Structure 1
Amino acid sequence: MTILLTVLGIALFALGLLVSIAWHELGHLSTAKLFGIRVPQYMVGFGPTLWSRKRGETEYGIKAIPAGGYIRMIGMFPPGPDGRIEARSTSPWRGMIEDARSAAYEELEPGDETRLFYTRKPWKRVIVMFAGPFMNLILAVALFIGVCMTFGMEKQTTEVAGVQQCVIKQSEKREECRSGDPVSPAHAAGLKKGDRITAFNGEPVDDWATLSDRIRATIGPATLTIQRDGREQTLNPTLIRNDVVKKDADGRAVADAYVPAGYLGFAAQSVIAPLTLGESVDRMGDMVENGVHSVIALPSKIPDLWDAAFGDGERKADSPVGVVGAARISGEVMNLDVPTQNIVASFLLILATFNLSLFLFNMLPLLPLDGGHIAGALWESLRRNVAKVFRRPDPGPFDVAKLMPVAYVVAGVFICFTLLVLVADLVNPVKIT
């Protein structure tokens, strides 16, 4: 049964991956056709074609390797300086440029002269290239907010999950009390597991964030109104100053950062509950911010990845995960001993995270990624507007093909990084159990 569920999880992830890729390419396809650009091919996957069918002027198909997809647009690059589409050169770098330019016109047909990608205004090209990643962002937001508002997310409440017996600086990262540690204010006041705090210093509180902020801001005598066994009681703890985890402007804990603040000494109970739309949007914002930080931090993860793949290093929980690793995690999720709705929610969150990663990764201003073409169109628009302001001749379209040598280098780096993640996912995978 375990093997069957694992295979089912991997198969579902593969299906979700195909849908995400097809959804991405649909964004490019629909906007390209909207602006009159001819699109000969719409393909999901790479490698040998498994199935294809032509509808109108576009061939739609599925290829064997579900690791990406593409649409082929006519005239991605402008002709060379001499106005020719093809040229000959003994320089390998120049050859890359000419090969890319030639490929952009290899399916040119009579009448296509007015349907070339590079002839469209820069803002239209930006929309076409942005539409693909944007579709992934839409899917990520829909999945994430849908899970938050239906299945729910873990959130802390004002119910007491446990009371600390003594005062320990959180920077010490220990749990056991030592001789000489003072009694915690919560324990001294008689706070017990299962109590629900309803008011602090006479002011009602119904969420953990508000209660936590008020505790941190108080040093000295305080009053707690609690519900215990269906009855309301009042406790009178005396809060003390202690080193506690620092919070950022959004109320999130900052890793390995501590500040002196008021301290009571109890743990809040966590529950899984549906969030409001506002709370869901806030959580989505946190997810995007974490995603941006993860993309920026990718180069710094390479040494740990290498050690995990080829050495005896530990695979960290925040280590980059590839398609194989994500599929493996999906298989693990299917085997979790939790309610079915939690499994469904976890799987949907994996797909949401994957789509957000696709959006952020493709927005990097580097060829051959979508962000590289966006950057080229924006640079062209800037050059033309500057020339117009200073009444200079129109510099014409920016020749993105000249950046193809850089694109090959970037692609090579990405391929090497992908292979490194693949090896790490196979020999030392990230596990959730």
Structure 2
Amino acid sequence: MLVVVGILIFFVGLLFSIAWHELGHLATAKMFGVKVTEYMVGFGRTIWSRKKGETEYGIKAIPFGGYIRMIGMFPPKKDEEYGRTASSAPWRAMIEDARQMSAEDVRPEDSHRQFYQRSPWKRIIVMLAGPFMNLILAVGIFTAILMGFGVNTPTLTVAHVSECVLPAGADTTKCPAGAPPSPAAAAGFKPGDRIVEFNGEHYESWDELRLAIRDSRGAVPVVVERDGHRVSLTANLMQTERPKIDTPSETVKVGFLGLSPTSVMVKQDIGGVVETIGGFVGLTAEKVVQLPQRVPDLVSAIFGGERHQDSPVGIVGASRLGGEVLATDQIGVDTRILMMFQLLAGVNLSLFVFNMLPILPLDGGHVAGAAWESIRRRVAKLVRRPDPGPFDTARLMPLAYAVSLVLIAYSLLVLVADIVNPVTLQ
């Protein structure tokens, strides 16, 4: 029951994120005098709507996105184009259909309120406003969590000593018969020990110590503080397969000791928040760039292969993860709620990065078109040539349709994988 409740709560959070994104486009478009006829969350058949002023606000049946409809997205044909022989090429039909749909809502009294008539910097602001609303929401959530509650930080104090060496990816913590004892257990480590020195070096954080352990092998002297006294131990580190730090789906042979650290919540200052969120943005951008490489893994997962923890997820998969977070009984309720908010912030960060890609039909594609128009006009002014006029984004619609088909196909692939072989917390 808690899983279902968690899924519903997180799903509502995702719908809010979509509505919040479109609100950015809506507010800035209206601020610059562009007429907006529709503000919709979802696609397909309208299940609820209400018209207020000149804009219809509503919810549609397929909750996988949203949009606002601004009049005059594309400029009309130039005069010289009307005299050319009509082409029957499919891409020409696409261009003219897109141009005609853009002009459908333009009434004579609204002819001065079209999107393409606005200066490039205004159009850039309108298109950036949506992704930046997601960024603002993500930064707000992360900042509240990092400064108000802190980040779970491993310390140099031992929480658990592995009794034996288990193979990488093992789904049990019990030691099978014949399993060799872990180097930490053989050396006499105990929970509560605080590591003071490792191989003659002092370390300030667990992350630094972990890297040193992974790079070591053979007999290594270790000094721990136990019950107020320093105790010298000798650990005979072994080499074993463990997940890579940056890519957990891959394994590498590293030094293994067999310790788990205790963790504490450490509140972050402004500097720490900026650094942490900057790292999140960089990691998210890296994952977005890697999306095409994930296709074989997704196909494999659909047909019974392993679904990696860092596999892409859609709205269904993200909602399922939210449900699992709420339902888990291994952590407290407050921690579960924080994890759900962190997951929602991560989704918003992904929406920001993804929509900034400079390809149509994404927001970044429209930004690139407006920026190119501005550059073209400035160059024409410098060389004293006539103003080339607005950049005709309609000419790129065949490319936009092709990209849309690819995105739809990828979304369906992720949806099927989320249903038949979902990413889980385990």
TM interval, shorter chain, is: 0.7 to 0.9
The answer for the alignment partner of 2:318 in structure 1 is 326
Is the alpha carbon distance of 1:279 and 1:197 closer, same or farther for their aligned partners in structure 2, counting shifts above 3 Å?
A: farther
What one-letter code is carried by the residue in structure 1 that aligns with 2:124? V
Is the alpha carbon distance of 1:304 and 1:207 closer, same or farther for their aligned partners in structure 2, counting shifts above 3 Å?
A: closer
Q: 2:354 aligns with which of 346, 357, 361?
A: 361
Is the alpha carbon distance of 1:383 and 1:272 closer, same or farther for their aligned partners in structure 2, counting shifts above 3 Å?
A: same
Task: Kindly provide the CA deviation profile for residues 67-109 of structure 1, in whole angstroms up to 9, marking residues without a partner as x.
Answer: 1111111111111122899x97533211111111111121112
The answer for the alignment partner of 1:156 in structure 2 is 154
Q: CA deviation at 1:246?
A: 12
Which residues in structure 2 correspond to 1:19-418 (within 5 Å)? Answer: 19-82=16-79, 90-162=88-160, 191-197=189-195, 207-209=205-207, 224=223, 226=225, 228-229=226-227, 231-233=228-230, 235=232, 265=257, 267-277=259-269, 278-309=271-302, 311-337=303-329, 338-418=331-411
What one-letter code is carried by the residue in structure 1 that aligns with 2:424? K
Query: Where do 4+ consecutive residues of structure 1 move more than 6 Å?
Result: 164-167, 183-187, 199-205, 213-223, 236-248, 251-255
Task: Kindly provide the CA deviation profile for residues 316-342 of structure 1, in whole angstroms up to 9, marking residues without a partner as x.
Answer: 222211111122222222221131112
The answer for the alignment partner of 2:417 in structure 1 is 424
What one-letter code is carried by the residue in structure 2 that aligns with 1:325? G
Q: Name stretches of at least 5 consecutive residues in structure 1 with no aligned partner.
A: none
What is the DSSP-based 3-state SS (H/G/I as helix, E as strand, rest coil) of the residue aligned with 2:77?
Answer: coil
What one-letter code is carried by the residue in structure 2 that aligns with 1:362? N
Contact in 1 for aligned 2:50/2:56 (Cα 8 Å): yes
Q: Distance in 1 between matches of 2:224 and 2:230?
A: 6
Q: Distance in 1 between matches of 2:244 and 2:193?
A: 25
74-83 or 414-423, which deviates more? 74-83
Task: Kindly provide the CA deviation profile for residues 121-159 of structure 1, in whole angstroms up to 9, marking residues without a partner as x.
Answer: 111111110110111111112222323334443321010
Q: Distance in 2 between matches of 1:244 and 1:313?
A: 21
What is the DSSP-based 3-state SS (H/G/I as helix, E as strand, rest coil) of the residue aligned with 2:36?
Answer: coil
Q: Distance in 2 between matches of 1:75 and 1:347?
A: 40
Q: Distance in 2 between matches of 1:212 and 1:307?
A: 32
Q: Distance in 1 between matches of 2:348 and 2:275?
A: 18
Contact in 1 for aligned 2:184/2:257 (Cα 8 Å): yes
Contact in 2 for aligned 1:76/1:116 (Cα 8 Å): yes
Q: Distance in 2 between matches of 1:279 and 1:252?
A: 24
Q: Distance in 2 between matches of 1:427 and 1:186?
A: 40
Q: CA deviation at 1:54?
A: 2.5
The answer for the alignment partner of 1:11 in structure 2 is 8
Is the alpha carbon distance of 1:209 and 1:79 closer, same or farther for their aligned partners in structure 2, counting shifts above 3 Å?
A: same
Is the alpha carbon distance of 1:54 and 1:184 closer, same or farther for their aligned partners in structure 2, counting shifts above 3 Å?
A: closer
Is the alpha carbon distance of 1:216 and 1:9 closer, same or farther for their aligned partners in structure 2, counting shifts above 3 Å?
A: closer
Is the alpha carbon distance of 1:422 and 1:81 closer, same or farther for their aligned partners in structure 2, counting shifts above 3 Å?
A: same
Is the alpha carbon distance of 1:245 and 1:321 closer, same or farther for their aligned partners in structure 2, counting shifts above 3 Å?
A: closer
Contact in 1 for aligned 2:358/2:364 (Cα 8 Å): yes
Q: CA deviation at 1:62?
A: 1.9
Q: TM-score w.r.t. structure 2 length?
A: 0.82
Q: CA deviation at 1:223?
A: 8.1
What is the DSSP-based 3-state SS (H/G/I as helix, E as strand, rest coil) of the residue aligned with 2:140?
Answer: helix
Q: Name stretches of at least 5 consecutive residues in structure 2 with no aligned partner.
A: none
What one-letter code is carried by the residue in structure 1 that aligns with 2:352? F
Q: Distance in 1 between matches of 2:238 and 2:371?
A: 54
Q: CA deviation at 1:222?
A: 7.6
Is the alpha carbon distance of 1:221 and 1:132 closer, same or farther for their aligned partners in structure 2, counting shifts above 3 Å?
A: closer
Is the alpha carbon distance of 1:120 and 1:239 closer, same or farther for their aligned partners in structure 2, counting shifts above 3 Å?
A: farther
Contact in 1 for aligned 2:51/2:57 (Cα 8 Å): yes
Q: Distance in 1 between matches of 2:75 and 2:163?
A: 73
Q: Distance in 2 between matches of 1:239 and 1:323?
A: 47
Contact in 1 for aligned 2:376/2:388 (Cα 8 Å): yes
Task: Kindly provide the CA deviation profile for residues 405-429 of structure 1, in whole angstroms up to 9, marking residues without a partner as x.
Answer: 1111111111111111111111122
Q: CA deviation at 1:118?
A: 1.0
Contact in 2 for aligned 1:224/1:236 (Cα 8 Å): yes
133-142 or 143-152, which deviates more? 143-152
Aligned residues: CA RMSD: 3.8
- The number of residues matched between the two structures is 414
Contact in 2 for aligned 1:158/1:268 (Cα 8 Å): no
Task: Kindly provide the CA deviation profile for residues 224-258 of structure 1, in whole angstroms up to 9, marking residues without a partner as x.
Answer: 462x22x243648699999999999xx99996567
Q: Distance in 2 between matches of 1:46 and 1:92?
A: 25
Task: Kindly provide the CA deviation profile for residues 239-295 of structure 1, in whole angstroms up to 9, marking residues without a partner as x.
Answer: 9999999999xx999965679xxx895635132514313444333233222211211
What is the DSSP-based 3-state SS (H/G/I as helix, E as strand, rest coil) of the residue aligned with 1:430?
Answer: coil
Q: Distance in 1 between matches of 2:308 and 2:353?
A: 22
Q: Distance in 1 between matches of 2:76 and 2:122?
A: 19
Is the alpha carbon distance of 1:320 and 1:115 closer, same or farther for their aligned partners in structure 2, counting shifts above 3 Å?
A: same
What one-letter code is carried by the residue in structure 2 that aligns with 1:385? R
What one-letter code is carried by the residue in structure 1 that aligns with 2:348? N
What one-letter code is carried by the residue in structure 2 that aligns with 1:58? T
